A and B are shown apart, each in its own frame.
Chain A
Amino acid sequence: MTALLYVLLAIVICVALWQITSILNLKSAIATERDNNTQGILFAAFGIFFYGLMIFSFWKYSVILLPESASFEGEEYDTLYLITMLLILFVQAVMQFLLFYFAFKYRGIKGRKALFYADSTKLEIIWTVIPTLVLFGIVLYGLTVWNDVMDASDAEDPLIVEVYAKQFQWEARYAGNDNELGLANVRNIKGINTMGVDMTDKNAQDDIPVRELRLPKGRKVIFKFRSQDVLHSAYMPHFRAQMNCVPGMVTQFAFTPKLTTEEMRVNEKTMAKVDGINKIRAEKGEDAYEFDYLLLCNKICGSSHYNMQMKIIVEEEADFNAWLKDQKTMAQVVQ
Chain B
Amino acid sequence: MSNHHHKETFITKYVFSTDHKMIARQYLVTGIFMGVIGVFMSMLFRLQIAWPDQSFSLIEAFLGRHQDGGVMTPDIYLALVTIHGTIMVFFVLTAGLSGTFSNLLIPLQIGARDMASGFLNMVSYWLFFLSSVIMVISLFVEAGPASAGWTIYPPLSALPQAIPGSGMGMTLWLISMAIFIASSLLGSLNYIVTVLNLRTVGMKMTRLPLTIWAFFVTAIIGVVSFPVLLSAALLLMFDRSFGTSFFLSDIFIQGEVLHYQGGSPVLYEHLFWFLGHPEVYIVLLPALGITSEIISTNSRKPIFGYRAMIGSIIAIAFLSTIVWGHHMFVSGMNPFLGSVFTFTTLLIAIPSAVKAFNYLTTLWKGNLQMNPAMLFSIGLVSTFVSGGLTGLVLGDSALDINVHDTYFVVAHFHLVMGVSAIYGMFAGVYHWFPKLFGRMMNKTLGYWHFWITAVAAYGVFFPMHFIGLAGLPRRYYANTAFPLFDDVADVNIVITLFAILGGAAQLIFLANFFISIYKGKKAEQNPWKSNTLEWTTPVEHIHGNWPGELPTVHRWAYDYSKPGHDEDFVTQTTPLYEGEEPS
Instruction: Quote the shortest CB–CB distance from B208 to chain A (angstroms).
Output: 16
> Once bound together, how far apart are the Cα atoms of A151 and B338, in whole Å?
12
Contact A118 B583 (CB under 8 A): yes
Q: Given the known inter-chain contacts A118-B558, A248-B264, please indicate yes or no for A84 contacting B61, CB distance below 8 A.
A: no
Mask for B58-71, Cβ within 8 A of A = 1, else 0?
Answer: 10111000000000
Contact B527 A29 (CB under 8 A): yes
Contact A304 B353 (CB under 8 A): no
CB-defined contacts of B521 to chain A, threshold 8 Å: 27-29
Chain A residue at minimal CB-CB distance from B153: A231
Interface 9-residue window, one of A206-214, A293-301, A326-334: A293-301
A40 at the binding interface (Cβ < 8 Å): yes
Instruction: Quote the shortest CB–CB distance from B117 to chain A (angstroms).
Output: 35
Instruction: Quote the shortest CB–CB distance from A292 to chain B (angstroms).
Output: 8
Instruction: Quote the shortest CB–CB distance from B554 to chain A (angstroms).
Output: 17
Chain A residue at minimal CB-CB distance from B352: A131
Instruction: Quote the shortest CB–CB distance from A290 to chain B (angstroms).
Output: 9
> Once bound together, how far apart are the Cα atoms of A307 and B485, in whole Å?
12
Chain B stretch 206-227: residues in CB contact (< 8 A) with chain A: none
CB-defined contacts of A26 to chain B, threshold 8 Å: 442-445
Contact B486 A30 (CB under 8 A): no
Contact A117 B393 (CB under 8 A): no
Contact B482 A118 (CB under 8 A): no
Contact B469 A49 (CB under 8 A): no
Option from A106, A143, A244 in Cβ contact (under 8 Å) with B342? A143
Chain B stretch 482-518: residues in CB contact (< 8 A) with chain A: 482-484, 486-491, 507-508, 510-512, 514-515
A72 at the binding interface (Cβ < 8 Å): no
Mask for A204-246, Cβ within 8 A of B = 1, else 0?
Answer: 0000000000000000000001001111010101101111101
B532 at the binding interface (Cβ < 8 Å): no
Contact A303 B163 (CB under 8 A): yes
> Once bound together, how far apart are the Cα atoms of A17 and B357, in whole Å?
38
> Once bound together, how far apart are the Cα atoms of A81 and B481, in whole Å?
28
Contact B561 A95 (CB under 8 A): no
A92 at the binding interface (Cβ < 8 Å): yes
CB-defined contacts of A251 to chain B, threshold 8 Å: 332
Interface 9-residue window, one of A122-130, A155-163, A256-264, A317-325: A122-130
Contact B331 A131 (CB under 8 A): no
Contact B568 A114 (CB under 8 A): yes
Contact B444 A54 (CB under 8 A): no
Q: Given the known inter-chain contacts A102-B363, A277-B484, please indicate yes or no for A119 contacting B306, CB distance below 8 A.
A: yes
Contact B463 A296 (CB under 8 A): no
CB-defined contacts of B390 to chain A, threshold 8 Å: 88
Chain A stretch 237-296: residues in CB contact (< 8 A) with chain B: 237-238, 240-244, 246-249, 251, 273, 276-277, 280-281, 286, 289, 291, 294, 296
Q: Given the known inter-chain contacts A57-B462, A118-B304, A305-B475, please indicate yes or no for A281 contacting B486, CB distance below 8 A.
A: yes
Mask for B373-391, Cβ within 8 A of A = 1, else 0?
Answer: 0110010011001100110
Chain A residue at minimal CB-CB distance from B488: A64
> Once bound together, how far apart are the Cα atoms of A112 and B369, in whole Å?
12
Q: Given the known inter-chain contacts A116-B563, A150-B338, please indicate yes or no for A3 contacting B62, CB distance below 8 A.
A: yes
B263 at the binding interface (Cβ < 8 Å): yes
Contact A139 B331 (CB under 8 A): no
Chain B residue at minimal CB-CB distance from A308: B481
CB-defined contacts of B253 to chain A, threshold 8 Å: 167, 228-230
B538 at the binding interface (Cβ < 8 Å): no
Total residues of chain B contacting the partner, CB 8 A: 143
Contact A123 B361 (CB under 8 A): yes
CB-defined contacts of A15 to chain B, threshold 8 Å: 511, 515
Contact A109 B57 (CB under 8 A): no
Residue from B253, B451, B471, B521 with most neighbouring chain A CB atoms (10 Å): B471
Contact B398 A142 (CB under 8 A): yes
Instruction: Quote the shortest CB–CB distance from B234 to chain A (angstroms).
Output: 20
Interface 9-residue window, one of B3-11, B186-194, B400-408, B417-425: B400-408
Q: Given the known inter-chain contacts A14-B514, A92-B389, please indicate yes or no for A276 contacting B487, CB distance below 8 A.
A: yes
Contact A303 B486 (CB under 8 A): no
Contact A77 B401 (CB under 8 A): yes
CB-defined contacts of A96 to chain B, threshold 8 Å: 382, 385-386
B440 at the binding interface (Cβ < 8 Å): yes
Option from B378, B399, B445, B563 in Cβ contact (under 8 Å) with A99? B378
> Once bound together, how far apart are the Cα atoms of A114 and B361, in whole Å?
12
B546 at the binding interface (Cβ < 8 Å): no
Contact A280 B350 (CB under 8 A): no
Chain B stretch 20-56: residues in CB contact (< 8 A) with chain A: none
Chain A residue at minimal CB-CB distance from B299: A114
> Once bound together, how far apart are the Cα atoms of A299 and B74, in whole Å?
15
CB-defined contacts of A142 to chain B, threshold 8 Å: 342, 346, 396-399
Contact A249 B301 (CB under 8 A): no
A103 at the binding interface (Cβ < 8 Å): yes
Contact B487 A280 (CB under 8 A): yes
Q: Given the known inter-chain contacts A107-B368, A116-B561, please indicate yes or no for A145 contacting B250, CB distance below 8 A.
A: no
Instruction: Quote the shortest CB–CB distance from B108 to chain A (angstroms).
Output: 20
B302 at the binding interface (Cβ < 8 Å): yes
Q: Given the known inter-chain contacts A39-B447, A64-B488, please indicate yes or no for A132 contacting B350, CB distance below 8 A.
A: yes
> Once bound together, how far apart are the Cα atoms of A65 and B486, in whole Å?
12
Contact B462 A27 (CB under 8 A): no
Contact B302 A246 (CB under 8 A): no
Chain A stretch 84-120: residues in CB contact (< 8 A) with chain B: 84-85, 87-88, 91-92, 95-96, 98-100, 102-103, 106-109, 112-120
Contact B378 A306 (CB under 8 A): no
Instruction: Quote the shortest CB–CB distance from B330 to chain A (angstroms).
Output: 5
> Once bound together, how far apart are the Cα atoms of A166 and B251, in whole Å?
10
Contact A115 B406 (CB under 8 A): no
Chain B residue at minimal CB-CB distance from A296: B473
> Once bound together, how far apart are the Cα atoms of A100 and B300, in whole Å?
18
11 contacts between A and B (CB under 8 A): A2-B60, A14-B514, A46-B454, A99-B363, A118-B583, A142-B398, A146-B338, A146-B397, A235-B471, A247-B248, A296-B471
The 8 closest A-B pairs by CB, nearest first: A248-B249, A29-B440, A237-B471, A39-B370, A14-B511, A251-B332, A2-B61, A186-B252
> Known pairs A17-B508, A186-B252, A306-B476. 16 more at Cβ < 8 A?
A2-B60, A17-B507, A28-B444, A29-B441, A31-B374, A54-B462, A87-B392, A96-B382, A103-B378, A108-B300, A115-B365, A135-B350, A139-B342, A185-B250, A196-B252, A235-B473
Interface residues of A (CB under 8 A from B): 1-3, 5-6, 10, 13-15, 17-18, 21, 24, 26-31, 35-36, 38-40, 42-43, 46, 49-50, 53-54, 57, 61-66, 74, 76-77, 80-81, 84-85, 87-88, 91-92, 95-96, 98-100, 102-103, 106-109, 112-120, 123-124, 127-128, 131-132, 135, 138-139, 142-143, 145-147, 149-151, 166-167, 185-187, 189, 196, 225, 228-231, 233, 235, 237-238, 240-244, 246-249, 251, 273, 276-277, 280-281, 286, 289, 291, 294, 296-307, 309
